[in-house]
Amino acid sequence: MLSVIRCVAVRSEAQLVGPFVSIRCLSETSGSPDINNIKPFNNIPGPNGIYSVPYIGTTFHFKPFTDIPALDITLLQKRLHTQYGDILRFRMGGEWIVGLFHPDLCREALQLTQPRFPIRFPVWILRKYAERMGIEEGMGTVNGERWEAIRKPTQHEILRPTSLASYSPKINLVADDMVTRLREQDTIDDTLLTLYNYAIENIGMLFFNSRLGCLDGGKTADDIVRNVVFVFHALEVDIRSSFRWYRYFRTPFYNKFEQSLNTLRSILQPEVDDCISLYHTHQTEGDPGAIQDTHCLVHNLLSGGKLTVEQINSFIIDLFLSGIDSTPFSYIWRLYNGCPVRNSGWTIQNTRKNPVDGGMSDNGPGRPLFREQ
CATH assignment of the domain containing 225: 1.10.630.10
Section 289-318 average pLDDT: 84
Residues 243 and 287 in one domain: yes
What's the pLDDT score for residue 31? Answer: 43
Q: What's the pLDDT band for 347 if we cut at 50, 70, 90? A: low
Contacts of 325 (CB under 8 A, 6+ apart): 228, 232
Residues 60 and 158 in one domain: no
What's the pLDDT score for residue 70? Answer: 84
Residues 183 and 313 in one domain: yes
Residues 231 and 87 in one domain: no
The residue segments making up the domain with residue 82 are 41-114
Q: Are strands 87-92 and 8-10 parallel, antiparallel or unpaired?
A: unpaired
357 found inside a domain:
no
Residues 137 and 275 in one domain: yes
Section 171-175 average pLDDT: 88
127 found inside a domain:
no
Q: Of 67-71, 153-157, 222-226, which range is least confident?
A: 153-157
Q: Which of 86, 114, 142 is the last residue of a domain?
A: 114
By the 10 Å C-beta count (0-12 exposed, 13-18 middle, 19+ buried), 78 is classed as: middle
Residue 207 has pLDDT above 80, yes or no: yes
121 found inside a domain:
no
Task: Identify the residue with better confidence: 217 or 315.
Answer: 315
What's the pLDDT score for residue 95? Answer: 82
Task: Identify the residue with better confidence: 164 or 93.
Answer: 93
329 found inside a domain:
yes
Q: What's the pLDDT band for 36 if we cut at 50, 70, 90? A: low
What's the pLDDT score for residue 360? Answer: 45
Nearest in space to 231 (alpha carbons), one of 253, 205, 211: 253
Please give the mean pLDDT across all residues of the chain.
Answer: 78
Residue 318, amino acid:
D
What's the pLDDT score for residue 339? Answer: 58
Q: Which of 84, 114, 144 is the last residue of a domain?
A: 114
Residues 176 and 97 in one domain: no
Residues 94 and 169 in one domain: no
Section 336-344 average pLDDT: 56
Residues 185 and 310 in one domain: yes
Residues 146 and 281 in one domain: yes
Q: What's the pLDDT band for 12 if we cut at 50, 70, 90? A: very low
Section 269-286 average pLDDT: 88
Angle between helices 168-183 and 191-208 (to 10 degrees): 150
As a whole number of angstroms, the distance between CA 180 and CA 184 comes to 7
Section 160-178 average pLDDT: 82
Residues 45 and 136 in one domain: no
Phi-psi label, residue 176: left if phi above 0, alpha if psi -120 to 50, beta otherwise = alpha
What's the pLDDT score for residue 35? Answer: 52
Task: Identify the residue with better confidence: 133 or 220.
Answer: 133
The winner for highest mean pLDDT among 259-273, 278-292, 325-339 is: 259-273
Q: Are 169 and 179 in contact (CB under 8 A)?
A: no
| Tally of CB atoms within 10 A around 160 | 10
What's the pLDDT score for residue 357? Answer: 52
Can the peptide bond before residue 45 be classed as cis, meaning omega within 30 degrees of 0? no
Residues 45 and 151 in one domain: no
The total domain count for the chain is 2
Nearest in space to 107 (alpha carbons), one of 255, 237, 8: 8
- Render 200-214 in DSSP notation, one character per residue: HHHHHHHHHS-----
Per-residue buried b or exposed e for 332-367, using 16+ beta carbons within 10 Å of the residue's own CB = eeeeeeeeeeeeeeeeeeeeeeeeeeeeeeeeeeeb
Task: Identify the residue with better confidence: 306 or 351.
Answer: 306
